[in-house]
A and B are shown apart, each in its own frame.
Chain A
Amino acid sequence: MTIRLRRIVQAPKSDIKVGAWHSGKVPKADFPIAKQAYGLGNSYRWCVISFMALGVECKVLVVFNFAKQKFEAILGAVGAGALRVLCSYEYHPSEPGWHCHAACDNLAKVPNGYMRGPWVKRIPHAKRTHTRQDFQIKDELSARRFAFKCYGIEVEGSLL
């Protein structure tokens, strides 16, 4: 079975675990995106949501900085201790609006452990119209809710 980003987003999720919010560096054990820790500064808040979809262990790193109006929800698939980054749904005020950087290829073809590379597409293209333009994320709760919505994660009230 070919597993792609779209199928993971559409698939029912199980074993959903929602981590606590932290500041600063994201340890490799939580989200193995970089060689060491993902070196965010102390002004960034982040949390990790993990779940299973189509038999694949997935993690979403939610990154939020209210003062700088910055949000990222980075979806990766875990395998052999490394992470294949499939999508980063993001907002930053230097851009015309919400966009994502997606690896739309078969999961097996996405290289392990790299945030970006030639296999990743920006959607929409930077010169095209961005339909969603307002930030609308005010706090950690709404940041997390937005990440759930991005990747089709339906959680019980207690997990929110």
Chain B
Amino acid sequence: MKDQICRAFCDEIRVREVPAGLAIGTAFRRSDGDAIGFYVIKNPVESGLAHIEDDGTTIPYLEAAGVDFDTQTRQKAFATILDEYGAQYDADEAVIRTPDIPEHEIARTAIGFAALLLRLSDFLLLSQEHVESAFKDDAKKRIREAIGNRARIDEDTVVNDHLNEVKPDLVIRAPNRDPVAIFLAQSAQRVNDAIFLQMAALYESRDALSVIALLEGDSSITSKLRQRASNRLSALPVFRHDEGQAVQRIVREAVGAVGVLQ
């Protein structure tokens, strides 16, 4: 067992000589599929000393992927993680590095440095809010374009005073048709909200209401929740990779098939 675990950790480690020193690739990967990697660079003046540093794109990459390091909370979190692993950030070089240490300590320090880079890559989870808003903006824009002036679209409002416990992202109200509440769902929470609203309309307030959860992707929720939602909601379209048809499904529910043909 111990050997197998050691192999699992070591087999994917890649060491290459480059002009700067040694480039190390680890078995750990960021969410984009690239390996966590770093460099070991010898002190050119004092022999027996070396330091570890990243490639100088860790922080620029995170910022370009939507992580905002300008907030005080994130700056503090960044400083705390650096401090925990005894590393520093050189803003001119955009490089994260350790101080020079004796070469025989490099191997042990390297494990900590890989952990540091891995933890920094988790800042990407904080950019999820931007990605979520990109999906929502895109979906809202397409729905509005497809509906045109055939219905009124309310954003971030409750359906009515009786159904005020959850707020859909959109409510589409076409003349002489039941209103349609749209939940733009990237997680189980919003799908459960949609099911709750549909059940409340059916069995508590007894309002005529269609509820649709528009999933961002095919894997946004578990198959069990998908089954529960499909059996209870008016529709459960999937947006990514078939956006046009997903939006048309909403349009059919909101303005009817005749409206779609016009």
A associates with B? yes
Give the interface centre of B24, B55, B92, B243 by most chain A CB atoms within 10 Å.
B55
Interface residues in B59-75 (C-beta closer than 8 Å to A): 59-61, 63-66, 68
Judge whether B33 and A125 touch: CB under 8 Å.
yes
Question: What is the 8 Å Cβ interface bit string for chain B, positions 10-29, against chain A (1 contact, 0 not)?
Answer: 00001010111001111001
**Which of B99-107, B130-138, B155-163, B191-199 lies at the interface with chain A?**
B130-138
**Which of A9-17, A51-59, A107-115, A152-160 lies at the interface with chain B?**
A107-115
Contacts of A67 in B (CB 8 A): 18-20
Q: Identify B60's interface contact among A38, A94, A109, A114, CB under 8 A.
A: A38
Judge whether B131 and A34 touch: CB under 8 Å.
no
Contacts of B33 in A (CB 8 A): 101, 122, 125-126
A43 to B64, CA, bound (A): 19
A142 to B101, CA, bound (A): 36
Judge whether A40 and B131 touch: CB under 8 Å.
no
Judge whether A44 and B56 touch: CB under 8 Å.
yes
Contacts of A24 in B (CB 8 A): 92
Judge whether B37 and A118 touch: CB under 8 Å.
no
Contacts of A125 in B (CB 8 A): 33
Q: Identify A111's interface contact among B32, B38, B93, B134, CB under 8 A.
A: B134
Question: What is the 8 Å Cβ interface bit string for chain A, positions 92-136, against chain B (1 contact, 0 not)?
Answer: 111110000100010001011111111110100110000000000
Q: Could you list 23 examples of A-B contacts with CB < 8 Å? A: A33-B64, A35-B68, A38-B60, A41-B92, A41-B94, A65-B55, A65-B56, A66-B19, A67-B19, A68-B19, A68-B56, A69-B23, A70-B55, A93-B25, A93-B37, A94-B23, A94-B24, A94-B55, A112-B134, A114-B64, A114-B127, A116-B32, A117-B66
By a beta-carbon cutoff of 8 Å, the part of chain B in contact with chain A is 14, 16, 18-20, 23-26, 29, 31-39, 55-57, 59-61, 63-66, 68, 90, 92-95, 127, 130-131, 134, 138, 217, 240-241, 243
